[in-house]
A and B are shown apart, each in its own frame.
Chain A
Amino acid sequence: EDKVVQSPLSLVVHEGDTVTLNCSYEVTNFRSLLWYKQEKKAPTFLFMLTSSGIEKKSGRLSSILDKKELFSILNITATQTGDSAVYLCAGANTGNQFYFGTGTSLTVIP
């Protein structure tokens, strides 16, 4: 059975902290790992990772994929209140199916 598991389920940090969100996956015919940010409405795309060990970076956010261990992490440095959201991880297979985890709810306190 294809599945994606995220941890922790929720996280509360203070502004300026660095956080690491985890995502493990078991997806048959795996093609890519995607991260989304969801703030009370539609998920918005952050990263797509297809190769192991190559870090993707966008501002204070970065992500990396380990295809041997079937694992990805999303790092957020110098967190801000605007980073408060649910972060979703999804594994995509070669048939274009996306398997989503339950998400990590991040709350950043001023």
Chain B
Amino acid sequence: NAGVTQTPKFQVLKTGQSMTLQCAQDMNHEYMSWYRQDPGMGLRLIHYSVGAGITDQGEVPNGYNVSRSTTEDFPLRLLSAAPSQTSVYFCASSYIIRWGRGTEAFFGQGTRLTVV
């Protein structure tokens, strides 16, 4: 019963390096999203996807790239890491419920990223 799996759990990058945070879910959820969590800022949406081949920007998309080639996977790419991207990153997924009460989001365990 894997749910939402994020890798790696921890990462240290040097300024200017690039990397990809992986996210995979096995619940056949259409909706997937990436958040960053900073002290005093709550969870802020970076990018999201409503299905394979469809992505869109959230509240804080600059410096990040995403793609959704399959329903299961939604990787987040940092193009050129900056110290301001030091944060905890969460991937989340959910069904898209078009009618009725909606559904909750399921979260991965998070990736703690430090950019030095």
Contact = CB atoms under 8 A, between A and B. Distances in A.
Interface string B47-67: 010100000000000000000
Given A41-B109, A96-B96, A50 B102 contact: yes
Interface residues of B, number: 26
A34 B41 CA distance: 18
Contacts of A100: 35, 42-44
A92 interface: yes
Interface string A31-71: 11010000001111100101000000000000000000000
Pick from B33, B101, B103, B104 the residue with the most CB of A within 10 Å: B104
Interface residues of A, number: 22
B82 interface: no
A42 B109 contact: yes
B91 to A, nearest CB: 9
Interface of A: 4, 31-32, 34, 41-45, 48, 50, 88, 90, 92, 94, 96-98, 100-103
Given A88-B42, A96-B50, 19 more contacts: A4-B42, A31-B101, A42-B90, A42-B107, A42-B108, A42-B109, A42-B110, A43-B90, A45-B104, A48-B101, A48-B104, A92-B102, A94-B102, A96-B94, A96-B102, A98-B105, A100-B43, A102-B42, A103-B42
